[in-house]
Amino acid sequence: MTQKKRKTKFFTRVTKEEILRVYNIGESIGSGNFSVVKLGKDRKTGEKWAIKVIRKKGMGNNLRMLENEIDILSRIDHPNIIRLKEIYETKEKVYLVMEYCDKGEIFEDIVEEGFYNEEKASKLIYKILMALKYLHEQGIAHRDLKPENLLLSGQNKEIKIADFGLSKIYSEKIMLQTACGTPGYVAPEILDEDLNSYGPKVDVWSVGVITYIMLCGYPPFYNENTNNLFKQILSGEFEFPEEDWSKISEEAKQFISKIFIVDSSSRMSVDQALNHPWILNHNPKKNK
């Protein structure tokens, strides 16, 4: 008697052999605490996919993060957001078949180039903002935007937002409360113990950090001591050092300054950022 395939919230249980009949799973192209990302190839079409293989054993609360990521990725479809094709589950592992970004992380690209010129940075930030606009309209906050979670794909290096493990669905009635994110990119309202909740503008703050790094090659807030770093962020104190920023336009500096406002109610929204002159001037046709 054949055993019935067990259906869970998101996927159907299969065997590894069944997966290997569909995909050739090759070399590792990335790794995490409980996962490894391998290069997969569809045996029928030859198309390449990134296959995230997650060990279920020992995941504990991280299993909830995985389910959350799958739930969100299953809801969304945008050209600048990584696409989830399908999900498999075996007895020991979960396999996420995702869009393969052959040019790697934007972090590596910035390290290689040192920094971007304003036109390139503005065009990339525009695409990130458009993806965020889409997410926020769906009631989804990413909460962990950083260069390591921005991937590049194809000859034109199309940007894709990835890693939705810390993302959260919210509404006007249900605001966000969990302290999360990556220290140098986290918004002050997430760190402020006196605030009971925060909203999607935490993603805009992260865009400000990413923009700053793109234009000069280093972060606006930095301290080896995490507590001191958080104090910097909570105060909103940052600088545009003359030696690196003298040739950068006032519009670019103003764009960043309007994001690094500690009071989120006064900070630019995604829509306001999209309509800022620094974005409009480098993306004229797209914003008409």
Full set of structural domains in the chain with CATH: 16-99 (3.30.200.20), 106-280 (1.10.510.10)
Q: Which of 42, 71, 144, 244 is catalytic?
A: 144
Residue 27 CA to chain centroid, in angstroms? 24
* 23-79 per-position pLDDT tens digit: 999 999 887 767 889 999 999 999 999 999 988 887 777 777 788 888 888 889 999
> Residue 102 catalytic?
no
pLDDT of residue 164: 75
DSSP category for residue 229: H
In the block, tokens 């309007």 appear at 258
Q: CB-based contacts of 228: which residues, under 8 Å, 6+ apart? A: none
pLDDT of residue 175: 41
What's the CA gap between 23 and 51, in Å, rounded?
9
103 is in an annotated binding site: no
What's the CA gap between 110 and 155, in Å, rounded?
17
Q: Which residues of the chain have pLDDT under 50?
A: 1-9, 171-180, 288
- How many angstroms separate the Cα of 68 from the Cα of each of 82, 117, 249, 276? 15, 36, 40, 33
pLDDT of residue 55: 87
